[in-house]
């Protein structure tokens, strides 16, 4: 975990310790702001057609995980006593990288950030604890590097792709203002056009990305 993630983790723990001294209550409706730490897992698949009978199409897969840190801003509203909806925008500073080697083609993906909007709908199980579902859209912003292990030339570029986000979460209200949230979200099979191969100008291979995250967040309701 990087230094920024450790600092936010310590801040969350300190805020929870201070907030727990107050009266436990339902986190209020309205505008809320907060930060999160998360474990992000990036998966990258390449389907490469070599065009040779002795070396047909090959699909390769690479997956890596790393820590990330971000911010979120949202609005929550109870449509009845125990049923609520929320809309939230977020930005996460990512650092996950994958290296995928497919029949000597080496492609590295460096995930720089993820951001987007999530819509939530949930129920209050108790006055303090609630569960909800998540659906939204996330932009994955990444750098691409194509090369061959045996040759120094490299072709580099960048890309961003939008994927459908689905997930689940829970919220624990420490008091009227502070709450802790845990969320799992997944973005599956986001197709993108990579850079052309270094040795075969203009050749594009089908690629896709998936992104999973386990998030711990601290929010303040105004």
Task: Show Cβ contacts of residue 45 under 8 Å, excluding neighbours closer than 6 positions.
Answer: 59, 60, 61, 100, 207, 208, 209
Look at 50 and 182; give whichever has higher pLDDT. 182
Domain ranges for the chain: 3-52+59-221
3-52+59-221 carries CATH number 2.40.10.10:
no
- CA–CA distances in Å: residue 28 to residues 25, 75, 85, 120, 212: 9, 10, 12, 16, 29
* Average pLDDT rounded to a whole number, residues 77-98: 95
Most confidently modeled range among 10-24, 49-63, 125-139, 148-162: 125-139
pLDDT (average), residues 103-114: 90
Cβ-based neighbours of 126, under 8 Å, separated by 6 or more: none
Per-residue confidence (pLDDT) for residue 101, from 0 to 100: 86
- DSSP class of residue 199 equals S
- What pTM does this model have? 0.81
Cα 137 to Cα 68, 141, 181, 184, distances in angstroms = 18, 13, 19, 14
Rounded to whole angstroms, the Cα distance separating 213 from 10 reads: 20
Whether 20 shows a pLDDT value over 50: the answer reads no
Question: With 80 as the cut, is the pLDDT of residue 36 above it?
Answer: yes
- pLDDT tens track for 91-101: 999 999 999 98
- Please give the average per-residue pLDDT across 73-84, as a whole number: 94
Question: 14 pLDDT exceeds 70?
Answer: no
* 112 vs 23, higher pLDDT: 112
pLDDT at 157: 87
Percentage, residues of the chain above pLDDT 90? 59
**Confidence at residue 23, expressed as pLDDT on a 0 to 100 scale:** 46
């Amino acid at each position: 975990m990087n230094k920024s993630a450790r600092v936010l983790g310590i801040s969350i723990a300190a805020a929870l310790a201070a907030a727990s001294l107050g009266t436990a209550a339902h986190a209020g409706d309205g505008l809320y702001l907060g930060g999160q730490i998360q474990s992000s897992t990036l998966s990258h698949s390449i389907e490469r057609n070599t065009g040779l009978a002795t070396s047909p199409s090959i699909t390769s897969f690479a997956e890596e995980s790393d820590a990330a840190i971000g911010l979120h801003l949202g609005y929550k509203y109870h449509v009845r006593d125990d049923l609520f909806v929320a809309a939230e925008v977020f930005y996460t500073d990512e650092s996950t990288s994958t290296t995928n080697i497919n029949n000597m083609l080496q492609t590295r993906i460096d995930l720089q950030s993820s951001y987007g909007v999530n819509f939530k709908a949930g129920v209050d199980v108790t006055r303090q604890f609630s569960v909800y579902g998540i659906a939204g859209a996330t932009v994955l912003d990444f750098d691409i590097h194509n090369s061959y292990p045996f040759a120094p030339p490299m072709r580099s570029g960048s890309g961003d792709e939008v994927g459908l986000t689905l997930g689940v979460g829970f919220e624990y209200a420490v008091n009227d203002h502070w709450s802790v949230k845990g969320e799992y979200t997944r973005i599956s099979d986001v197709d993108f056009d990579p850079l052309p191969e270094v040795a075969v100008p203009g050749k594009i291979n089908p690629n896709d990305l998936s992104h999973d995250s386990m998030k711990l967040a601290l929010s303040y309701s105004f």
